[in-house]
A and B are shown apart, each in its own frame.
Chain A
Amino acid sequence: MLRAASRFLHGRNAFYVSLLLLPPLLWLGTVYLGSLFALLAQSFYAIDEFTARVVPELTLATYRQLVTQPANVDIVLRTVAMAVAVTIACGIVAFPVANYMARHAGPKMKAFFYVGVMLPMWTSYLVKVYAWRLILAKQGIVAWGFESAGATAVLEHALATPVVGGPSLSSSYLGMFIVFVYMWLPFMILPLAAALERVPASLLQASADLGARPGQTFRNVVLPLALPGLAAGSVFTFSLTLGDYIIPSVVGAPGYFIGMMVYQQQGTAGNLPLAAAFSVVPIVLIGLYLTLARRLGAFDAL
């Protein structure tokens, strides 16, 4: 019976492949993409001002509201600024770590680093966020560390910075930024380390051999070849920051972020079209970002 089935499938490659792909495609198509599109479609629906009920009537009013109301524009700009800052910081912090893991660490050290990078991801996300709130609190360990080092002035100076500062790290954008960077760092390190590992050592030697100083080798060879990894990592850090609503609600200043807005609009406020319109923003931004990265040749070395 099994043999007959195997024999039937043998040579019917297209049929065989579609048989294998059908279940996951159905899942992806209906449950995943389908629900996403259902949500996005909501953003074009009107809302009855009086009853606050969604009316299936196509309109661009929600988007007009999104781009014209200063409060909404502020939320988008604030979120994007944070996402850009977090992505850049993750790239800068991750590069040396990933480079060490890929190029210099021995087998044991490499395993240690991989586990070390991924270990925080094994614990609950909420636990980590609340832990960070304590760490960054006014009388938390960071403030204590600055005090012990006699550098309280430095911390106070940083907190006195307009916009990003605040009464304490745990209630400022600076603190939120630190938590975001901590949270998404593994998502930057892992693809970056994978990309760097694929760069043969002989390319770096060839560059030096031809007269390039270490800085030139980095700019001309390492960076361009690490770009796909950097792009992949930045898509993670960028989109994760754009969509997150827990970190901004637990740590940081009271200003709203896109994720919080989506959460609030579809929940308490019950304005599903506006929530849907807000969740379109990250999708559009990521799309733009990927197009730009492609134009700049980030994926040429793939």
Chain B
Amino acid sequence: MTAAIELRDASRAFGSVVALDRVSLEIAPGEFFALLGPSGSGKTTCLRLIAGFDQPDSGQVLLDGVDVTDVPPFDRDVNTVFQDYALFPHMSVAENVAYGLRVRRIATVERRKRAAEMLELVRLDDFAERRPTQLSGGQKQRVALARALINGPKVLLLDEPLGALDLKLREEMQAELKGLQQRLGITFVFVTHDQGEALSMADRVAVFNAGRIEQLDTPRGLYTRPRTAFVASFVGSANVVSGALAEHITGRCTPFAIRPELIEIRPAEGALPEGLLAAAGTLEGVLYHGASSRCHVRIDANTLLSVARAESAGAAPLPPAGSRVRLAWRPADAVMLES
């Protein structure tokens, strides 16, 4: 099957800053794909190349198998939901939504009908005559969605779509976007710096760092089998142990990552069950998070491991801060990383 979107060795530099460094990527039709990374990692540049707002210095962009590297945005079958929504302030909500049809010279009657349908899809039918300034953040977001979808694109690009919304609204919109994508069956590509968002919505995630893709995997794959220390600590939080300490614990000098929730706190003395790996340290402090607590245990001068501990009713009480403890985990739970 032809990829909906393909990047081949795409590079882009701004002056001396390399924003994208020979990135190759294939996104399948109908996929919900996330570009995840910290700011300046190249994820937004990548999206802009796909939308056509920017051209790569070298490499190619293909849509549906066709090279569109030099095709301007208005001739690409791709639509974008902008981070600041970019609604036209001098047009009503309905006019904003119908804009894509207007510039394609679709008749007014047809335009009105389809704009009304799109507004119904995002449940804003009562707001058609309002101006964008009269809408809340979540409503603007939905207008931007309706406007981007009216041309029936094969690919929808979303640039930090939920960044400006508050927490509760963000969670609602996550579910709404996911549902919308499944109903429409088109490819969604979204940029985010929020790993939780990427994990909960995307089918696959490309993790960007310093202009390159560090790892491209399913959310579960990223979380359970991070390949590099960057991915391990950026996606979820992981304890990364390297150098002499890693060798001391595992007997190999490759760095490894262990998730906080997979570590068990045991008394410093006493026998260790067969097969567990362990490291001794000092309990420095405990942060209570409600459902769980975060314990920080110092192993040596450079290493502070974080342990998540479920706050269930039967949990044994923790020793006081400053006590010596032993951290233990199953060898299979530790993920070996590329050094």
Contacts and interface: CB of A to CB of B under 8 A. Distances in A.
B208 interface: no
B214 interface: no
A202 B86 contact: yes
A19 to B, nearest CB: 34
B84 A202 contact: yes
Contact of B102 (A205, A206, A220): A220
Contacts of B147: 206, 210
B90 A213 contact: no
A300 B99 contact: no
A213 B74 contact: yes
B222 to A, nearest CB: 30
B138 interface: no
Interface SS of A by simple majority: helix
Interface in A69-103: none
Q: Which 7 pairs from chain A and chain B are nearest by CB?
A: A202-B86, A210-B100, A206-B86, A212-B103, A208-B73, A301-B90, A209-B80
20 contacts: A200-B86, A203-B88, A205-B51, A205-B53, A205-B80, A205-B82, A206-B87, A206-B147, A209-B53, A209-B78, A209-B148, A210-B74, A210-B99, A210-B100, A210-B151, A213-B103, A216-B103, A221-B88, A224-B90, A225-B89
Interface of A: 200, 202-203, 205-213, 216, 220-221, 224-225, 297, 300-301
A206 B82 contact: yes
B123 to A, nearest CB: 22
B72 interface: yes
A208 B78 CA distance: 11
Interface SS of B by simple majority: loop
Interface of B: 51-53, 72-74, 78-80, 82-84, 86-90, 99-100, 102-104, 147-148, 151
A247 to B, nearest CB: 36
B95 to A, nearest CB: 10
Nearest to B84: A202
A211 B78 CA distance: 9
B50 to A, nearest CB: 11
A301 B131 CA distance: 11
Find the residue from A210, A213, A216 having the highest chain B CB count within 10 A.
A210
B90 A225 contact: yes
B89 A206 contact: no
A205 B90 contact: no
A195 B22 CA distance: 39
A124 B13 CA distance: 48
B124 to A, nearest CB: 18
Contacts of B72: 208
B236 to A, nearest CB: 32
Given A209-B79, A225-B89, A300-B90, A200 B103 contact: no
A245 to B, nearest CB: 39
Nearest to A224: B90
